[in-house]
Structure formats: structure tokens, C-alpha cells
Amino acid sequence: MAKIIKPLSPMQVKNAKPKERLYRMFDGGGLYLSVYPHGSKLWHMKIRGANGKENVLSFGKYPDISLEQARQHREEVRKLRAKGGDPVAAKKAQKALQKEQAANSFEVIAREWYEKQSSALEERTLKNILSRLEKDVFPWIGTKPIIDMTAPDYLAVFRKLEDRGILETAHRVRGICGQIQRYAIATGRATYDPITALRGALKPFKTKHLAAITEPEKVGQLLRMIDGYTGSYIVACAMRIAPYVFVRPGELRKALWSDIDLGRAEWRYIATKTNTPHIVPLSKQAVTILQELHPLTGHGKYVFPR
């Protein structure tokens, strides 16, 4: 006579305590809870294949998988077997699919794209991009396979930023996600760019440009303020030379002595934003400032080290 197994109760499962050795609590139909000495509780189901070989399926850890959910998994296996399916093969296929999806998640591909940008963008820009992704994007869609991303998925992320009143960030994040999605397409991990469908979906943002000083009186006032600066000598030199070279502040801050030829009065460098060579003629005043600064920083890499 077959042994009658009394189904488990949720309380029995919850109160199951570890012992010196592994033990099992059976629920019937091949389903049981394995209780390990270290305290872990895992759901398993014992089945016998068509070849008579015994196999064990794993449904996950308790309490992540409740008793009710474990029973649902058991019924799914029963239905699959009734149709002639192979639960073991199905489980392996599911694991393979999950592994592939994890390898092609939005976050994985975003970080891969980010690494590709490291040689083309400034360090500060890279930090800002990564910060926005980790703070405003990954928590919502990081684990989702990028091939499954839809326009509403992305819009929900951008709307969270829009609702916080940071429209500029919302538009910037939209641009970053668009580059990541196109990178996924180029590398065969996605087939189309749903972000293109979001054109006009966000509130418009007007960029505020810093006003340039065009009045001679105000220019003179600025130059007098620079001459009167009493802080760091290196900073003072950078401020004094700026009006003579007309380059981006970031380019001036990262100026290298190896790029400067005082004899020819030239500064040659590769612009980080456009990756193009620039030649900046140095006036007599600029050369004088650099000659004064050279004894102080000329032994190092940067003209204006921090």
C-alpha cells in the first residue's frame, strides 16, 4: 500500500529548523522542502524520466518561493509531462535563456558602451554619464533585456525625471539611452530603437547659454579683477593667460607642457570634444606668463596642475 503523504502547511514550512544533517519535508506529488544544516530551505521535485532515470528539479529558495508557488511549479511540471514534454530539458532551456537575457540586459550593455566612450570623452563627462545611469536608469530598467525594451519602458524612466522638475536631466538621459540602444543594435543585441518614437513626448527644455561680455567697460572690469586676484599663483597664471588663448576652460586646465613650444610660440593639442588637432598661436604676453610659470610646474605633466 502506497504511503499517504500529508500536505505541508505554511506554518510547518516557516517553522522548519535546521538540524545536524540535511532533511526533507514532503508535500506530495514529488515536491519536497530540503532543509540544510546551515539554515537554507530549497524547494525540489523528484521526477522519473522516460528512460527510468530519476531527476531532481529545483524551484528556488524559501521564502523567495512560497509553498503555494512551489505547488504551482509542481502542477506546471505535471501538465508538461502529460503533454509528452521533458521538464528537465525545459528547465535547462529556461536557465540558458535567463543567462542570455542577463548577459544582454540594459545595464550590462550600457556599461559596455560606457567603457567604449572612455577614450573619447573627458573624465568629468564620463562621471556625469555613469552617475545618471546608476541613479536614474539602472534601478528601473537595468535588469531588463535590451531587446525587449519598448518606447513606454523608456518614457516611464524619463517621466520620473520630468516629474521631479529636472527637464534638462530628462533630455540628457534620453540622449544617453538613445546612444546605448543604437550601440545594442550595432552589436546585434537589439533590432530597433524605440526611443526615436519619443520625439516630442517630453516637455521642451530651453538651454540657457552663459552670456558673453561684449561691452568694453565690463571687459576692462573683468581684466582688472583678474589682475587683482590674490589666490593661488598657478590659478592666477591660468586666469591671466585665458584672454590671450581663447580656448575652452577644460582645454586650458588640461594643458600639457609637452604640447607647448615656447620657442615657436605655439600650443598644439588634440581637442577632446571633437578629437581634432588645434594650433593656438601664443602672444608675447602669453609666452611671458608661461615662462614665469615654467620653473614652478615645468617639471610635471600639466601646465596648471591641481
- Domain for residue 14, yes or no? yes
What was the pLDDT predicted at 57?
Answer: 82
What was the pLDDT predicted at 92?
Answer: 59
DSSP helix/strand/coil, 77: helix
pLDDT tens-digit readout, 122-144: 788 888 899 999 999 999 999 88
- 224 and 293 co-located in one domain: yes
Quote the DSSP letter at residue 146: G
- 113 and 191 co-located in one domain: yes
Pick the last residue of a domain from 68, 91, 114: 91
**Cα gap 60→41, rounded to integer Å:** 9
CATH code of the domain containing 70:
3.30.160.390
What was the pLDDT predicted at 54?
Answer: 78
Q: DSSP string spanning 194-258? A: GGGGGTTTSPP----PPPPP--HHHHHHHHHHHHT--S-HHHHHHHHHHHHH---HHHHHT-BGG
- 116 and 189 co-located in one domain: yes
Distances in whole angstroms, Cα of residue 111 to Cα of each of 103, 108, 138, 254: 12, 5, 10, 26
- 118 and 57 co-located in one domain: no
- Domain for residue 304, yes or no? no
Quote the DSSP letter at residue 7: P
- Domain for residue 211, yes or no? no
- 124 and 45 co-located in one domain: no
CATH code of the domain containing 281:
1.10.443.10
CB-CB contact of 182 with 193 (8 Å): yes
Pick the last residue of a domain from 167, 198, 229: 198
CB-CB contact of 213 with 243 (8 Å): no
**Cα gap 53→37, rounded to integer Å:** 28
Residues of the chain below pLDDT 70 = 1-3, 49-52, 84-103, 120, 206-214, 219, 222, 230
**Cα gap 129→115, rounded to integer Å:** 11
- Domain for residue 222, yes or no? yes
**Cα gap 82→29, rounded to integer Å:** 14
CATH code of the domain containing 188:
1.10.150.130
**Please, which residues have CB within 8 angstroms of residue 54's CB and are 6 or more apart in sequence?**
46, 47, 48
Domain count, the chain: 3
- Domain for residue 305, yes or no? no
Provide the 10 A C-beta neighbour count for residue 86: 15
Pick the last residue of a domain from 48, 66, 91: 91
- 61 and 112 co-located in one domain: no
What was the pLDDT predicted at 103?
Answer: 63
- In 3D space, the residue among 156, 161, 169 whose CA is nearest the CA of residue 195 turns out to be 156
- 180 and 136 co-located in one domain: yes
User: Can you give the pTM of this predicted structure?
Assistant: 0.46
- Domain for residue 28, yes or no? yes
- Domain for residue 101, yes or no? no
Query: How is residue 210 written as a grid cell?
Result: 552663459
Domain range holding 280?
Answer: 216-297
What was the pLDDT predicted at 32?
Answer: 92
- 221 and 286 co-located in one domain: yes
Question: Hey, what amino acid is at 124?
Answer: R
What was the pLDDT predicted at 52?
Answer: 65
CB-CB contact of 59 with 89 (8 Å): no
- 26 and 56 co-located in one domain: yes
CB-CB contact of 24 with 33 (8 Å): yes
Beta-bridged to residue 83, according to DSSP, are: none
- Domain for residue 206, yes or no? no
